[in-house]
Chain A
Amino acid sequence: MSSKQGGRGGPAGPKPKKPARAGAEEKREDTLQAVVLADSFQDRFKPFTLEKPRCLLPLAGVPIIEYTLEFLAHNGVQQVFIYCGAHSEEIETYIHESTRWSPRSAVSPFSSLEFVRVSDANSVGDFLRDLDKRSLIEGDFILVHGDLVANIQLDEALAKHRARREANRDACMTMVLRSIGDQPHRAKDSRVITPVFAVEQGGRCWQYEEIHPLMKERKIVWDPSVVELPDWEIRADLVDCGIDICTPEVLALWSESFDYELPRKNFLHGVLKDHELNGKMIYTEILESGYAARANSLPMYNCISRDTLGRWTFPFVPDNNLVHGQTFKRIREGSCLEDNVVIARGAKVTNSVIGKNSKVDEGASISSSVIGRRCKIGKNVKIEGSYIWDDTIIGDDSTVIKAVLANYTVIGQGCKIPEGSLISFGVTIGDKIQLPPDPIPRISLLAYDKTPAATDASLVGEGGKGALFTEEQDEEEGSEDGDPGSLEKTLFYNLENLNLSSHSISTLASQADYESDVDDSFGSFDADENSRAARNRLSSFASDDSGLSPDAFHGDAVHGLLDALRAVDNGDFDSAKLEFMGLRLANNASDSSMRRAIAVAFARRAAELMSPEYGGLEPTKAAEKTFNAKKGAVKFIREVGVGSNETNLQAEFTLALQKALLGVKGLEVGRAGTLLAAMLQQLYNLEVLEEEGILSWWGDARAVENEGLAKLKEKCRILVEWLENADEEESDGDDDDEEEEEEEEEDSD
Chain B
Amino acid sequence: MAPSQTTYSPSMEKLVKSLKGQTLEASIESFIYLLKRRQVKGDDCADATAHILRQVVAKSKWSDVDQLLSRVQTVGSRLAKAAPHEPIIGNIVRRVMGLIRDEASEDRNADDFGSEAASDIQSLATAIAPPSHSGPPQRPGPVPFRPPPLTSVASFHIAKPKSMFNLLSVVETAESTITAASTPLSQAAPTSIHALRSEVLDGIEEIMDEISQADDQIAGFADIQIFPGDYVLAYLPSRTVERFLVKAAAKRKFTVFLVSLENPNTTTGEAPYAALRKKLSSSGVKTISIASNGLMAYMARINKVVFSARVVYQNGGLLVDSGASVAAQAAKAHSKPVIALGGVYKFCPEDPSDEIAGEAGDSSTYVSYAEGLKLDSLEVENTVADYVPPELVDVYLTNLGPQTRHHLAAIMADHYKPEDVGFSFLSNE
Contact = CB atoms under 8 A, between A and B. Distances in A.
Contacts of B3: 162-163, 166
B355 A329 contact: yes
Given A74-B9, A107-B26, A288 B370 contact: yes
A10 interface: yes
Interface string B149-185: 0000000000000000000000000000000000000
Interface string B3-45: 1111111100010000001110110111001001111000000
Interface string B259-282: 000000101000000000000000
A185 interface: yes
Best-surrounded residue of B5, B363, B368, B371 (most CB of chain A within 10 A): B363
Contact of B379 (A70, A153, A154, A334): A334
B265 A289 contact: yes
A179 interface: yes
Interface in B356-379: 358, 360-364, 368-373, 375-376, 379
Contacts of B21: 11-12
Interface in A163-202: 163, 166, 178-181, 183-188
A315 B37 contact: yes
Given A109-B29, A180-B370, A330-B360, 7 more contacts: A73-B33, A76-B8, A76-B9, A166-B3, A185-B372, A311-B362, A315-B37
A321 to B, nearest CB: 7
Interface residues of B, number: 45
How many residues of A sit at the interface, in one of the four size bands? 35 or more
A322 interface: yes
A57 interface: no
9 smallest beta-carbon distances between A and B, as pairs: A185-B372, A181-B370, A76-B8, A107-B29, A314-B362, A10-B23, A183-B372, A311-B363, A155-B7
A353 interface: no
A643 interface: no
A371 to B, nearest CB: 19
Interface of B: 1, 3-10, 14, 21-23, 25-26, 28-30, 33, 36-39, 82, 265, 267, 355, 358, 360-364, 368-373, 375-376, 379-382
A153 B363 CA distance: 17
Contacts of A315: 36-38, 362
B23 A186 contact: no
A697 interface: no
B370 A311 contact: no
B36 A320 contact: yes
A312 B362 CA distance: 6
Contact of B25 (A106, A311, A321): A106
A186 B364 contact: no
B35 to A, nearest CB: 9
Contact of B375 (A29, A70, A178, A186): A186
A180 B369 CA distance: 7
Point out which of B9, B30, B36 has the most chain A C-beta atoms below 10 A from its C-beta: B9
Nearest to B28: A107
A181 B372 contact: yes
B361 A159 contact: no
B372 A311 contact: no
A359 interface: no
A166 B1 contact: yes
Interface of A: 8-12, 29-30, 32, 70, 73-77, 100, 106-107, 109, 153-155, 158-159, 162-163, 166, 178-181, 183-188, 288-291, 307, 310-312, 314-315, 319-322, 329-330, 334, 351
Contacts of B372: 180-181, 183-188
Contacts of B1: 166
30 contacts: A9-B23, A10-B23, A32-B8, A73-B33, A74-B39, A76-B10, A100-B29, A107-B26, A107-B29, A109-B10, A154-B9, A155-B9, A162-B4, A166-B1, A178-B369, A180-B369, A183-B370, A184-B372, A289-B265, A289-B267, A289-B369, A290-B364, A310-B379, A310-B380, A311-B362, A312-B364, A312-B375, A314-B362, A330-B355, A334-B381
Given A180-B370, A289-B368, A320-B36, A154 B8 contact: yes
Contacts of A74: 9-10, 37, 39
A70 B39 CA distance: 13
Contacts of A29: 4, 6
Nearest to B361: A314
Nearest to B7: A155
A75 B9 contact: yes
Chain B at the A interface: SS class: loop
Contacts of A9: 23, 26
A320 B35 CA distance: 10
Contacts, number: 132
A166 B369 CA distance: 33
A77 B8 contact: yes
B74 to A, nearest CB: 15
Contacts of B267: 288-289
Contacts of A311: 360-363, 380, 382
Contact of A106 (B26, B82, B375): B26
Contacts of B23: 9-11, 106
Contacts of B28: 107
Given A75-B8, A107-B26, A312 B363 contact: yes
Contacts of A288: 265, 267, 368, 370
A399 to B, nearest CB: 23
A107 B370 contact: no
Most buried by B among A307, A312, A322: A312
A30 B375 contact: no
Contacts of A73: 10, 33, 37
A109 B196 CA distance: 32
Contacts of B30: 107, 109
Nearest to A292: B369
Contacts of A291: 364, 369
A74 B40 CA distance: 12
Contacts of A188: 372
A539 B277 CA distance: 48
Residue of A12, A30, A109 contacting most chain B CB atoms (<10 Å): A109
A187 B358 CA distance: 29
B247 to A, nearest CB: 33
B373 A183 contact: yes
B68 to A, nearest CB: 21
Nearest to A73: B33
A289 B26 contact: no
Nearest to B8: A76
A171 to B, nearest CB: 13
Given A74-B37, A163-B3, A312-B363, A181 B25 contact: no
A11 B23 CA distance: 8
B151 to A, nearest CB: 39
B41 to A, nearest CB: 10
Nearest to B83: A320
A188 B376 CA distance: 12
A691 to B, nearest CB: 62
Nearest to B358: A330
Nearest to A188: B372
Given A10-B22, A310-B379, A351-B379, A109 B33 contact: yes
Nearest to B5: A159
B38 to A, nearest CB: 5
Given A10-B26, A183-B372, A322 B36 contact: yes
Contacts of A179: 370
Nearest to B374: A183
Contacts of B37: 70, 73-74, 315
Contacts of A321: 36, 82
Given A163-B3, A179-B370, A185-B375, A310 B363 contact: yes
A63 B9 CA distance: 23
A288 to B, nearest CB: 5
A30 B6 CA distance: 8
A7 B372 CA distance: 44
Contacts of A109: 10, 29-30, 33
